Amino acid sequence: MAKIILFGGHGRVALLLAPLLVERGDEVTAVIRNPDHVTDVESTGARACVADVETLGVPDLAHLIDGHDAVVWSAGAGGGNPARTRAVDQEAAIRTMQAAEQVGVKRYVMVSYFNSSPAHGVPPEEPFFHYAEAKAAADGFLRSSNVDWTILGPSGLTLEPASGTIDTRASTSGLVSRGNVALTVAAVLNDNTTVHRTINFNDGTVPIAEAIGA
Protein backbone atom coordinates (compact mmCIF):
# COMPACT_ATOMS: atom_id res chain seq x y z
CA MET A 1 0.00 0.00 0.00
CA ALA A 2 1.20 3.48 -0.88
CA LYS A 3 -0.03 6.89 0.20
CA ILE A 4 -0.47 9.02 -2.91
CA ILE A 5 -1.37 12.70 -3.15
CA LEU A 6 -3.07 13.62 -6.40
CA PHE A 7 -3.16 17.27 -7.48
CA GLY A 8 -6.02 18.13 -9.80
CA GLY A 9 -8.27 15.61 -8.10
CA HIS A 10 -11.46 16.59 -9.93
CA GLY A 11 -9.96 16.37 -13.41
CA ARG A 12 -11.26 13.71 -15.77
CA VAL A 13 -8.06 11.68 -15.62
CA ALA A 14 -7.83 11.99 -11.85
CA LEU A 15 -11.42 10.81 -11.33
CA LEU A 16 -10.55 7.69 -13.31
CA LEU A 17 -7.18 7.23 -11.59
CA ALA A 18 -8.28 7.51 -7.97
CA PRO A 19 -10.53 4.42 -7.93
CA LEU A 20 -7.82 2.36 -9.65
CA LEU A 21 -5.38 3.23 -6.88
CA VAL A 22 -7.93 2.74 -4.11
CA GLU A 23 -8.98 -0.63 -5.51
CA ARG A 24 -5.42 -1.95 -5.34
CA GLY A 25 -5.08 -0.81 -1.75
CA ASP A 26 -3.45 2.61 -2.03
CA GLU A 27 -4.51 5.55 0.12
CA VAL A 28 -5.33 8.56 -2.07
CA THR A 29 -5.55 12.21 -1.10
CA ALA A 30 -7.13 14.19 -3.93
CA VAL A 31 -6.43 17.92 -3.84
CA ILE A 32 -9.22 20.08 -5.27
CA ARG A 33 -9.89 23.81 -5.34
CA ASN A 34 -13.69 23.79 -5.33
CA PRO A 35 -15.46 22.46 -2.21
CA ASP A 36 -18.48 21.65 -4.39
CA HIS A 37 -16.42 18.79 -5.85
CA VAL A 38 -15.85 16.97 -2.56
CA THR A 39 -18.71 14.50 -3.11
CA ASP A 40 -17.52 13.61 -6.62
CA VAL A 41 -13.99 12.99 -5.39
CA GLU A 42 -14.93 11.01 -2.31
CA SER A 43 -17.20 8.77 -4.40
CA THR A 44 -13.95 7.41 -5.93
CA GLY A 45 -12.73 6.29 -2.52
CA ALA A 46 -10.18 9.10 -2.25
CA ARG A 47 -9.99 11.59 0.59
CA ALA A 48 -10.76 15.08 -0.65
CA CYS A 49 -8.48 17.92 0.41
CA VAL A 50 -9.73 21.41 -0.46
CA ALA A 51 -6.76 23.67 -1.19
CA ASP A 52 -5.93 26.24 -3.86
CA VAL A 53 -2.51 25.32 -5.27
CA GLU A 54 -2.43 28.57 -7.18
CA THR A 55 -2.09 30.55 -3.95
CA LEU A 56 -0.34 28.12 -1.60
CA GLY A 57 3.37 28.60 -1.00
CA VAL A 58 5.98 25.88 -0.62
CA PRO A 59 5.61 25.55 3.20
CA ASP A 60 1.85 24.95 2.97
CA LEU A 61 2.27 22.52 0.07
CA ALA A 62 4.97 20.72 2.02
CA HIS A 63 2.50 20.31 4.87
CA LEU A 64 -0.03 18.75 2.45
CA ILE A 65 2.53 16.43 0.85
CA ASP A 66 4.29 15.33 4.03
CA GLY A 67 3.52 11.73 4.97
CA HIS A 68 2.77 10.59 1.44
CA ASP A 69 4.86 8.20 -0.63
CA ALA A 70 4.23 9.75 -4.05
CA VAL A 71 2.95 12.89 -5.74
CA VAL A 72 0.92 12.85 -8.96
CA TRP A 73 0.44 16.18 -10.75
CA SER A 74 -2.63 16.09 -12.97
CA ALA A 75 -3.79 19.65 -12.35
CA GLY A 76 -4.10 22.40 -14.91
CA ALA A 77 -5.62 25.81 -15.44
CA GLY A 78 -7.62 24.57 -18.41
CA GLY A 79 -6.18 27.02 -20.91
CA GLY A 80 -7.63 30.28 -22.13
CA ASN A 81 -5.94 32.54 -19.59
CA PRO A 82 -2.17 32.94 -20.10
CA ALA A 83 -1.51 34.36 -16.64
CA ARG A 84 -3.42 31.62 -14.87
CA THR A 85 -1.86 28.94 -17.08
CA ARG A 86 1.57 30.10 -15.99
CA ALA A 87 0.44 30.37 -12.37
CA VAL A 88 -0.93 26.80 -12.20
CA ASP A 89 0.74 24.68 -14.87
CA GLN A 90 4.19 26.11 -14.24
CA GLU A 91 4.58 27.97 -10.96
CA ALA A 92 2.26 25.92 -8.74
CA ALA A 93 3.56 22.67 -10.22
CA ILE A 94 7.14 23.71 -9.48
CA ARG A 95 6.23 24.63 -5.90
CA THR A 96 4.88 21.10 -5.36
CA MET A 97 8.20 19.72 -6.59
CA GLN A 98 10.09 21.96 -4.18
CA ALA A 99 7.72 20.95 -1.39
CA ALA A 100 8.17 17.24 -2.13
CA GLU A 101 11.94 17.66 -1.95
CA GLN A 102 11.61 19.61 1.30
CA VAL A 103 9.74 16.82 3.09
CA GLY A 104 11.60 13.94 1.47
CA VAL A 105 8.83 12.55 -0.73
CA LYS A 106 10.87 11.06 -3.56
CA ARG A 107 8.35 9.73 -6.10
CA TYR A 108 6.76 12.27 -8.45
CA VAL A 109 4.70 11.55 -11.56
CA MET A 110 3.92 14.44 -13.90
CA VAL A 111 1.09 14.23 -16.43
CA SER A 112 2.35 16.42 -19.25
CA TYR A 113 1.64 16.12 -22.98
CA PHE A 114 3.18 14.39 -25.99
CA ASN A 115 6.66 15.75 -26.80
CA SER A 116 6.52 18.61 -24.32
CA SER A 117 9.75 20.56 -24.84
CA PRO A 118 11.16 24.11 -24.87
CA ALA A 119 11.46 23.53 -28.62
CA HIS A 120 7.72 22.87 -28.91
CA GLY A 121 7.38 25.00 -32.02
CA VAL A 122 3.96 26.40 -31.15
CA PRO A 123 3.62 29.95 -32.58
CA PRO A 124 3.20 32.66 -29.90
CA GLU A 125 -0.10 33.75 -31.40
CA GLU A 126 -1.62 30.29 -30.86
CA PRO A 127 -3.68 29.80 -27.66
CA PHE A 128 -1.75 26.57 -26.91
CA PHE A 129 1.55 28.50 -26.79
CA HIS A 130 1.19 29.55 -23.15
CA TYR A 131 0.39 26.01 -22.04
CA ALA A 132 3.32 24.61 -24.02
CA GLU A 133 5.65 27.16 -22.42
CA ALA A 134 4.38 26.45 -18.91
CA LYS A 135 4.63 22.67 -19.27
CA ALA A 136 8.13 22.87 -20.77
CA ALA A 137 9.30 24.95 -17.81
CA ALA A 138 7.67 22.67 -15.22
CA ASP A 139 8.98 19.50 -16.88
CA GLY A 140 12.46 20.99 -17.11
CA PHE A 141 12.46 21.90 -13.43
CA LEU A 142 11.29 18.39 -12.54
CA ARG A 143 14.09 16.78 -14.54
CA SER A 144 16.66 18.88 -12.67
CA SER A 145 15.20 18.08 -9.24
CA ASN A 146 16.29 15.41 -6.79
CA VAL A 147 13.00 13.48 -6.83
CA ASP A 148 12.39 10.15 -8.57
CA TRP A 149 10.39 11.62 -11.41
CA THR A 150 8.50 10.18 -14.33
CA ILE A 151 7.01 12.46 -16.98
CA LEU A 152 4.09 11.08 -18.95
CA GLY A 153 3.30 12.57 -22.35
CA PRO A 154 -0.14 11.44 -23.47
CA SER A 155 -1.32 12.54 -26.89
CA GLY A 156 -4.74 14.02 -27.70
CA LEU A 157 -7.20 12.95 -25.03
CA THR A 158 -10.46 11.17 -25.80
CA LEU A 159 -13.40 9.83 -23.81
CA GLU A 160 -13.15 6.37 -25.37
CA PRO A 161 -13.18 3.41 -22.97
CA ALA A 162 -9.79 2.32 -21.67
CA SER A 163 -8.28 -0.50 -23.72
CA GLY A 164 -5.36 -1.18 -21.39
CA THR A 165 -3.02 -1.03 -24.40
CA ILE A 166 -0.83 1.84 -25.59
CA ASP A 167 1.95 2.71 -28.03
CA THR A 168 5.11 4.27 -26.54
CA ARG A 169 7.14 4.07 -29.76
CA ALA A 170 5.22 6.50 -31.97
CA SER A 171 7.16 9.59 -33.02
CA THR A 172 4.04 11.71 -33.58
CA SER A 173 1.08 12.51 -31.41
CA GLY A 174 -2.16 10.69 -32.03
CA LEU A 175 -5.01 9.99 -29.63
CA VAL A 176 -5.26 8.27 -26.26
CA SER A 177 -8.22 7.65 -23.97
CA ARG A 178 -8.23 9.31 -20.58
CA GLY A 179 -8.84 5.86 -19.17
CA ASN A 180 -5.57 4.63 -20.63
CA VAL A 181 -3.79 7.67 -19.19
CA ALA A 182 -5.15 6.81 -15.74
CA LEU A 183 -4.06 3.19 -16.13
CA THR A 184 -0.59 4.33 -17.23
CA VAL A 185 -0.17 6.63 -14.22
CA ALA A 186 -1.15 3.77 -11.94
CA ALA A 187 1.30 1.44 -13.70
CA VAL A 188 4.32 3.75 -13.55
CA LEU A 189 3.78 4.33 -9.83
CA ASN A 190 4.43 0.62 -9.38
CA ASP A 191 7.33 0.36 -11.82
CA ASN A 192 10.70 1.73 -10.69
CA THR A 193 12.14 1.24 -14.18
CA THR A 194 10.14 4.34 -15.18
CA VAL A 195 12.06 6.61 -12.80
CA HIS A 196 13.90 9.41 -14.63
CA ARG A 197 12.12 8.60 -17.87
CA THR A 198 9.82 10.58 -20.13
CA ILE A 199 7.20 8.35 -21.72
CA ASN A 200 5.17 9.68 -24.65
CA PHE A 201 2.26 7.51 -25.71
CA ASN A 202 -0.81 7.06 -27.87
CA ASP A 203 -3.47 4.39 -27.75
CA GLY A 204 -1.96 1.22 -29.17
CA THR A 205 -1.85 -2.54 -29.00
CA VAL A 206 0.79 -3.27 -26.33
CA PRO A 207 -0.36 -3.94 -22.75
CA ILE A 208 0.52 -0.96 -20.58
CA ALA A 209 2.81 -2.79 -18.15
CA GLU A 210 4.80 -4.14 -21.08
CA ALA A 211 4.82 -0.87 -22.99
CA ILE A 212 6.31 1.14 -20.13
CA GLY A 213 8.96 -1.45 -19.35
CA ALA A 214 12.51 -0.20 -19.70
pLDDT in tens, 115-130: 999 999 999 999 899 9
Length of the chain in terms of residues written? 214
Give the alpha-carbon dihedral of 5, 168, 78, 29, to 10 degrees. Answer: -10
Amino acid 214: pLDDT: 65
pLDDT in tens, 53-80: 999 999 999 999 999 999 999 999 877 7
Helix, strand, coil percentages in the chain from 3-state DSSP, rounded to 5: 40, 25, 35
Q: Which of 61, 55, 171, 167 is nearest to 108 (CA)?
A: 61
Adjacent-strand bridge partners of 20: none
For the whole prediction, is pTM greater than 0.95? Answer: yes
